[in-house]
Amino acid sequence: MSYSGYWGKSLEFLKKNSLEVGSQVKVRTDAEYSGIIMPRYEHSDDQHIALKLKNGYNIGLEIGKISRIDAEPSHGAKKESTAQPHPDPSLPKILLISTGGTIASRIDYRTGGVTPALTAAELNASVPELSKIANIDTEVLFSEYSENLMPEHWIKIAERLDSCARTEYKGIIVAHGTDTMQYTAAALSFALSGYPKPVALVGSQRSSDRPSSDAALNLISAARFLTDTDAAGIFVVMHNSTSDDEVACHWGTRVRKNHTSKRNAFQTVGGAPAYIVKNGTIEKNPQFDHPRKSYNPRINFDKKALLLKYYPGLDPSLIDHAVSSGYQAIIFEGTGLGHVGRILYDSIQRAKKKGLFLGMTSQCIDGMVRMTVYDSGRDLLNLGVVPLDNMVPEAALVKSMWALSNSKDEKEMERMMRDNVALEISD
């Protein structure tokens, strides 16, 4: 039997009632609850049991206040058909690639936890509205929570998308976890600059089998966006509000996750989303200017780049350590218009002499880096720090990894960082 995380009185309580992690129970305290007993963290107290309710939320119940607990029949996970819908020759064709994350997760009825379990085919079959929009091919590239994705994964996604650039697909959905989606979106934007089709990175803040899940509407809206517009390039497609009224299509280098749990966690930094999907129609932002470029895939990344956030008291030896560790680029997340304290100047000068690229972004959510306004900014310019306009810091980091691996020397690296490759710099 499984008692993961339970000890002392809570363990005795479970054993006395012939229960374990994963048991379906009805509990009576000051109210009545039904749900699944969940595992607990290793250092939890021994006074409570954890219960996942049918609405998907978790609660802790103090065992001293439980007047009655009864085991209920466990129906387990619902078996969903993975059979693909019958193709409609009148509809366009899109590809749905799954990489994992909450959108490809469901409750594990043995443990009560949320785990990556849905395949791309299951995602397609669980949202029948998709078959009315397009004929969808599905495949699983890998199944990982997005915090586990590394630049090596970006390369695999980019290579798969590159193989589809000249195919009959109208567009491609990439199901992805939300925690690092902005990094992947930026990576694909640089590696696949000028990509001729629309690519929609789609996630969900709540797993597909929760009543409050945003997965279905995000997928449906992404499919509409791919089939009903002439857009091209990399986008993040997620809820635009906490309700189910509209979904935003954010440009891949201008987007950021700004909330831990809200369904509209993603926002375009420095402007409005490129497109809004509302009531089945597509509204284009009239200020969204996307000049088409020739497709020029350069799919490689060098991890020897560092994002360093300045704060009062930052030890300048961290810069020296980065240099001695072989890093080739440092992106500073400076204060205000692009400043760091003068305590870092000597270390910055040494890093520049070693040939590192040093770029400046701002900790402020919005606005341009302007390093000519104050003496401190001009000092940093004289030390060789390059202002990166209004690049989102995470996008600047990813761009530096990309530019490092695709440039032959320091001068070309700086030119690539200053170039507006994928709308990472906006007006």
Same domain, 101 and 237: yes
Report the CATH number that the domain containing residue 54 is assigned in CATH. 2.30.30.520
**For position 82, what pLDDT does the model report?**
55
Cα–Cα distance measured from residue 114 to residue 10, given in angstroms and rounded to the nearest whole number = 23
- Largest alpha-carbon pair distance within the chain? 73
What CA–CA distances, in Å, run from 239 to 37, 203, 242, 388? 31, 10, 7, 29
What CA–CA distances, in Å, run from 290 to 23, 254, 354, 420? 54, 13, 37, 12
Same domain, 237 and 355: no
Which of 71-85, 225-239, 315-329, 352-366 is the least confident region?
Answer: 71-85
> 80 lies in a domain?
no
- Token pair listed for 73: 């029949």
> 297 lies in a domain?
no
Beta bridge partner(s), residue 235: 200, 251
Confidence grade of residue 380 (pLDDT, cut at 50, 70, 90): very high
Report the CATH number that the domain containing residue 275 is assigned in CATH. 3.40.50.1170
Do residues 178 and 205 make contact, with C-beta atoms less than 8 angstroms apart? yes
Same domain, 110 and 187: yes
Q: Is the pLDDT of residue 119 over 80?
A: no
Q: Is the pLDDT of residue 38 over 80?
A: yes
Which of 81-85, 167-171, 302-306 is the least confident region?
Answer: 81-85
> 185 lies in a domain?
yes
Look up 281 and say whether it is catalytic: no
Same domain, 195 and 133: yes
Identify which has the larger pLDDT, 107 or 46. Answer: 46
CB atoms under 10 Å from CB of 303, counted, come to: 13
Same domain, 193 and 64: no
Confidence grade of residue 244 (pLDDT, cut at 50, 70, 90): confident
Same domain, 119 and 40: no
Confidence grade of residue 213 (pLDDT, cut at 50, 70, 90): confident
Look up 257 and say whether it is catalytic: yes
> 409 lies in a domain?
yes
Q: Is the pLDDT of residue 228 over 70?
A: yes
Q: Is the pLDDT of residue 146 over 70?
A: yes
Same domain, 66 and 104: no
Give the residue from 251, 284, 317 where a domain finishes. 284
Nearest residue to 201 (alpha-carbon basis) of 154, 151, 235: 235
> 295 lies in a domain?
no
CB atoms under 10 Å from CB of 235, counted, come to: 29
Give the residue from 284, 314, 343 where a domain finishes. 284
Q: Which of 137, 179, 209, 389 is catalytic?
A: 179
Nearest residue to 217 (alpha-carbon basis) of 140, 137, 277: 277
> One-letter amino acid identity for 186?
A
Q: Is the pLDDT of residue 209 over 50?
A: yes
**For position 287, what pLDDT does the model report?**
84
**For position 80, what pLDDT does the model report?**
45
Same domain, 315 and 275: no
Same domain, 356 and 244: no
Do residues 26 and 70 make contact, with C-beta atoms less than 8 angstroms apart? yes
Nearest residue to 52 (alpha-carbon basis) of 164, 187, 250, 209: 209
Q: Is the pLDDT of residue 268 over 90?
A: yes
Cα–Cα distance measured from residue 288 to residue 222, given in angstroms and rounded to the nearest whole number = 18
Coil, strand or helix at 386: strand
Q: Which of 257, 268, 389, 399 is catalytic?
A: 257
Do residues 159 and 223 make contact, with C-beta atoms less than 8 angstroms apart? no
**For position 87, what pLDDT does the model report?**
84
Condensed to tens digits (0 to 9), the pLDDT of residues 13-29 reads 999 999 998 899 999 99
Report the CATH number that the domain containing residue 384 is assigned in CATH. 3.40.50.40
Q: Which of 99, 102, 229, 253 is catalytic?
A: 102
Cα atoms found within 13 Å of the Cα of residue 224, Cβ hemisphere only: 22
Cα–Cα distance measured from residue 381 to residue 373, given in angstroms and rounded to the nearest whole number = 11
In this structure, is the dihedral angle defined by the CA atoms of residues 395, 401, 407 and 413, taken in order, positive or negative?
positive
Same domain, 113 and 147: yes
Condensed to tens digits (0 to 9), the pLDDT of residues 285-306 reads 988 877 789 999 999 999 999 9
User: How many structural domains does the chain have?
Assistant: 3
Q: What is the mean pLDDT of residues 376-403?
A: 98
Q: Which of 99, 119, 138, 178 is catalytic?
A: 178
Phi first, then psi: what are they for 248, rounded to 5°? -100, 145
Q: Is the pLDDT of residue 225 over 80?
A: yes
Phi first, then psi: what are they for 417, rounded to 5°? -70, -30
Q: Is the pLDDT of residue 106 over 70?
A: no
Q: Which ranges of 201-313 would DSSP assign to H, the alpha helix?
A: 215-228
Q: What is the mean pLDDT of residues 28-46?
A: 86
Q: Is the pLDDT of residue 46 over 80?
A: yes
Residue ranges making up the domain that contains 63:
8-71
Q: What is the mean pLDDT of residues 349-376?
A: 97
**For position 424, what pLDDT does the model report?**
96
Q: Which ranges of 1-132 would DSSP assign to H, the alpha helix?
A: 8-16, 120-126
* % of the chain with per-residue pLDDT over 70: 90
Same domain, 179 and 270: yes
Same domain, 176 and 222: yes
What is the DSSP-derived secondary structure letter of residue 65? G
> 298 lies in a domain?
no
**For position 210, what pLDDT does the model report?**
59
What CA–CA distances, in Å, run from 387 to 55, 212, 269, 319? 48, 42, 18, 18
Do residues 423 and 251 make contact, with C-beta atoms less than 8 angstroms apart? yes
> 294 lies in a domain?
no
Coil, strand or helix at 70: strand
Q: What burial class does residue 296 get, using C-beta atoms within 10 Å of its C-beta: 0-12 exposed, 13-18 middle, 19+ buried?
A: exposed
Full-model pTM: 0.84
Beta bridge partner(s), residue 275: 249, 284
Confidence grade of residue 91 (pLDDT, cut at 50, 70, 90): very high
Confidence grade of residue 100 (pLDDT, cut at 50, 70, 90): confident
The region, left, alpha or beta by phi > 0 then psi within -120 to 50, assigned to residue 18 is left
> 20 lies in a domain?
yes
**For position 410, what pLDDT does the model report?**
93
Give the residue from 284, 317, 345 where a domain finishes. 284
Cα–Cα distance measured from residue 221 to residue 419, given in angstroms and rounded to the nearest whole number = 32
Residues 6+ apart with CB under 8 A from 173: 94, 95, 96, 97, 199, 200, 202, 219, 222, 223, 226
Look up 119 and say whether it is catalytic: no
State the residue for tokens 């040093």: 358
